[in-house]
């Protein structure tokens, strides 16, 4: 507790100081003065918690001193040292916010101790009120900032200025900038914001911070001429690291543009931050350093997209696969690209594959595979590693279909038609007579040419297609009955399916299902 004593009688002043400091070592008399002017000069430059002051003094008396103190922002606990014949000053003193009157003849150590204990309670309550008031102010500012950051449509300049003024938000329009950052930490968000505010105050940066999502913060600030966005953020980045020891992904917008550009600046900062997060590279990304154009001026990676298209057109699937892997590896090194642009490039590549796949007659299983890939790509893929894993898996599935279809095209046209028909109609009742009608050829000729080109009988081929389809259903749906699977794959009934399945694979359908489920659970 910081205490000053204002008393023109030296003996009285020294006696009071001695007794105050003897009560508790936390009570510090930081100043002693013989008149109000000297005390006022001190209080205008230093913080004071408690004031003991006499009334009658030369130069500036106690009441004049207390009146001047009220003009300062501080609100200390005020005690008047009063003689018996000065008690008529009480009313005037009350108007000046005096808390206690201490009659000099009755001043004892116990009385002084009681007064200081009361002062301690007062100061604690004042600090709580001040803290709550500050928090209310900060909360109001945060709500105001969040309102404009999340608002859709065009921002109204007059409304922004009015709302900012009402919430004591002061930002220079010509140097306005926005930064967003994600802090991977177990610390409370309030702790992060407190450190940021202390940093802004110490660096004399005009700025305001709000939490926009869980551990994701937005900082609006106006650097002065001597400050740069990158310089400010380098200091803040290292400060947050030292306090929280964690990963920080940050993005900074361009600078200026006025209050109506607030939403756009926020979008720029978010895009830059997403770039750092996407590549899992902690640090700061400046929005102006991001690009989607190559050195030649054309959109980045357009040539490799066209190359993959040409390779697929010529059915050189292995070379197309190499180009895709080279593309994914190169993307990993080019960390200034927009994540949205990278996702668009990947979607375009998969579209090329799916376009070629859809040029064939597809089985139900193949169609489901293509649909799953199309649906999965609606996912955001917030990191490069997630996107790469998806691309590799999707490419593998689509390539497998293309390779199988390419093998079929090695057959003569009649056999191609037969295999395509079986692929599309294996769930139905199929016979050589029906196939003969579909391809307009003799039954005996079909049987002979099919065995000659494929190396097996037509009935064995049909059975293998149906068994493959039944395996897919057994793995994909643990609730579907064996009878339902038999009906969907062209077998007479569950018993027929079980017998053929065990003859071919050496285990029953149910054993196959349990084995696959155990493998999935253990991975």
String of DSSP letters for 359-392? TSPPPHHHHHHHHHHHHHTTS---SHHHHHHHHH
How far are the Cα atoms of 355, 431, 451, 456, 494 from residue 500, in angstroms, in the given order?
36, 18, 21, 17, 10
CATH of 151-289, one of 3.30.750.24, 3.30.70.270, 3.40.50.300, 1.10.10.10: 3.30.70.270
pLDDT at 322: 87
pLDDT at 3: 92
Which residues does residue 502 pair with via DSSP β-bridges, in sequence order?
none
pLDDT tens string 392-419: 999 999 988 888 776 665 667 788 788 8
Element holding 326 (H helix, E strand): helix 317-333
**pTM (whole model) above 0.75:** no
Which of residues 407 and 5 earns the better pLDDT score? 5
Averaged pLDDT for residues 198-219: 88
The phi-psi region of residue 204 (left if phi > 0; otherwise alpha if psi is between -120 and 50; otherwise beta) is left
Q: Which two three-digit tokens encode residue 322?
A: 């190499």
- pLDDT of residue 439 exceeding 60, the answer is yes
Q: Report the alpha-carbon distance of residue 419 to residue 454 in Å, rounded.
A: 10
pLDDT band at residue 464 under the 50/70/90 scheme = confident
Which of residues 93 and 485 earns the better pLDDT score? 485
> What is the SS3 assignment for 431?
coil
pLDDT at 86: 62
- What's the order of all strands across the beta sheet hosting 247-252? 206-213, 216-222, 177-184, 247-252, 283-286
pLDDT at 504: 87
Instruction: Collect contacts of 261-266 with beta carbons under 8 A, ≥24 apart.
Output: 261/176, 262/148, 262/149, 262/155, 262/160, 262/176, 262/178, 262/220, 263/148, 263/149, 263/151, 263/155, 265/176, 265/177, 265/178, 266/149, 266/178, 266/180, 266/218
- Among the residue ranges 85-94, 125-134, 140-149, the one predicted with the least confidence is 85-94
pLDDT at 133: 67
Q: Report the alpha-carbon distance of residue 380 to residue 395 in Å, rounded.
A: 18
| CB-CB neighbours of 177 under 10 Å | 26
> What is the SS3 assignment for 147?
helix
What are φ and ψ of residue 279, in 5° steps? -90, 0
| CB-CB neighbours of 393 under 10 Å | 12
pLDDT tens string 61-94: 888 888 888 888 778 999 888 775 666 666 677 7
As its CATH architecture, domain 2-127 has 3-Layer(aba) Sandwich (3.40)
Q: What fold is seen in the domain 413-522?
A: Arc Repressor Mutant, subunit A (1.10.10)
> Are 220 and 171 in contact, with CB atoms under 8 Å apart?
yes
Q: What is the mean pLDDT of the chain?
A: 84
Work out whether strand 247-252 and strand 177-184 pair parallel, antiparallel, or are unpaired. Answer: antiparallel
Instruction: Collect contacts of 510-519 with beta carbons under 8 A, ≥24 apart.
Output: 510/482, 512/471, 512/474, 513/474, 513/475, 513/478, 516/474, 516/475, 517/478
């Amino acid at each position: 507790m910081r205490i000053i004593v204002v008393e023109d009688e030296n003996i009285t002043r020294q006696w009071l100081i001695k007794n105050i400091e003897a009560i508790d070592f936390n009570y510090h008399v930081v100043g002693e003065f013989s008149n109000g002017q000297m005390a006022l000069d001190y209080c205008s430059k230093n913080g004071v918690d408690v004031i003991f002051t006499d009334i009658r003094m030369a130069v500036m008396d106690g009441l004049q001193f207390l009146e001047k103190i009220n003009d300062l922002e501080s609100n200390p606990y005020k005690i008047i040292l009063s003689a018996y014949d000065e008690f008529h000053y009480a009313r005037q003193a009350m108007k000046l916010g005096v808390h206690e009157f201490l009659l000099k003849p009755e001043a004892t150590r116990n009385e002084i101790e009681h007064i200081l204990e009361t002062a301690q309670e007062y100061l604690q309550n004042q600090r709580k009120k001040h803290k709550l008031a500050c928090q209310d102010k900060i909360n109001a500012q945060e709500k105001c900032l969040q309102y404009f950051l999340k608002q859709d449509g065009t921002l109204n300049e007059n409304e922004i200025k009015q709302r900012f003024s009402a919430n004591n938000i002061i930002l220079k329009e010509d140097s306005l900038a926005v930064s967003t950052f994600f802090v991977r930490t177990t610390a409370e968000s309030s702790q992060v914001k407190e450190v940021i505010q202390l940093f802004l105050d110490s660096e004399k940066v005009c700025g305001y911070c709000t939490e926009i999502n869980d551990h994701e913060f937005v900082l609006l600030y106006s650097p002065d001429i001597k400050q740069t966005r990158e310089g400010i953020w380098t200091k803040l980045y290292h400060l947050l690291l030292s306090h929280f020891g964690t990963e920080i992904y940050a993005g900074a917008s361009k600078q200026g543009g006025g209050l109506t550009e607030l939403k756009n600046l926020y979008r720029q900062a978010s895009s830059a931050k997403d770039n750092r997060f996407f590549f899992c590279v902690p640090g700061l990304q400046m929005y102006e350093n991001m690009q989607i154009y190559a050195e030649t001026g054309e959109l980045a990676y357009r040539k490799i997209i066209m190359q993959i298209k040409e390779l697929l057109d010529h059915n050189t699937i292995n070379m197309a696969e190499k180009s895709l892997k080279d593309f994914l590896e190169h993307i990993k090194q080019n960390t200034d690209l927009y994540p949205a642009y990278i996702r668009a490039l990947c979607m375009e590549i998969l579209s090329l594959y799916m376009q070629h796949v859809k040029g064939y007659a597809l089985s139900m299983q193949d169609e489901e595979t293509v649909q799953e890939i199309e649906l999965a790509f609606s996912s955001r893929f917030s990191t490069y590693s997630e996107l790469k894993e998806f691309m590799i898996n999707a490419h593998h599935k689509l390539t497998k279909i293309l390779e199988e279809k390419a093998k079929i095209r090695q057959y003569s046209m009649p056999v191609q038609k037969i295999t395509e028909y079986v692929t599309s109609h294996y769930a139905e009742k199929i016979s050589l007579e029906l196939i003969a009608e579909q391809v307009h050829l003799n039954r005996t000729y079909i049987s002979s040419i099919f065995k000659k080109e494929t190396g097996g009988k037509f009935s064995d081929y049909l059975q293998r297609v149906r068994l493959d389809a039944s395996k897919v259903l057994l793995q994909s749906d643990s609730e579907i009955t064996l009878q339902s699977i038999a009906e969907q794959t062209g077998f007479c009934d569950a018993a027929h399916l079980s017998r053929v399945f065990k003859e071919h694979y050496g285990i029953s359908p149910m054993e196959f299902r349990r084995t696959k489920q155990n493998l999935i659970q253990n991975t």
